[in-house]
Amino acid sequence: MEVAMPTAGDNGLGGCGIPGGECDPNIECEDFARRNYGSYYWALRALVGMHSKLNIAHEYLQDTTITNLLSLERIAEVFTAPPATNDLDTLASLLGVIF
């Protein structure tokens, strides 16, 4: 079995520095412990957890920004048809203003 270390080629660390990226290193604690790098394993596990939290925050910020910039509620209000009115009421209102 090939041991995946942080300096190895395709070890799953490539997306750890990219918001929205896939951060899933292909590492085992035993591989690090054999080389006396046990604490590095836990540091990488913490990195994966932090990256997951940052992805959640990034998605929330992105969604909030899009909603605020597009103001979807305001666009819906502007382009919604006005409520149906009774033409007789409108005529009576106009006549009331005239007389």
Contact status, residue 11 vs residue 5, Cβ threshold 8 Å? yes
Sign of CA dihedral 65, 60, 43, 28: negative
**What's the CA gap between 63 and 85, in Å, rounded?**
37
Domain boundaries, the chain: 29-98
pTM for the full predicted model: 0.52
Summarised one tens digit per residue, pLDDT across range 73-95 is 777 777 776 666 666 677 677 77
CB atoms within 10 A of CB 25: 20
The Cα angle at residue 3 between residues 33 and 42, in degrees rounded to 5: 40
Summarised one tens digit per residue, pLDDT across range 29-45 is 788 888 887 788 888 88
Query: Minimum mean pLDDT among 5-14, 19-28, 34-43, 58-67: which range?
Result: 5-14
Residue 87, CA distances (Å) to 80, 93, 98 in order: 20, 10, 17
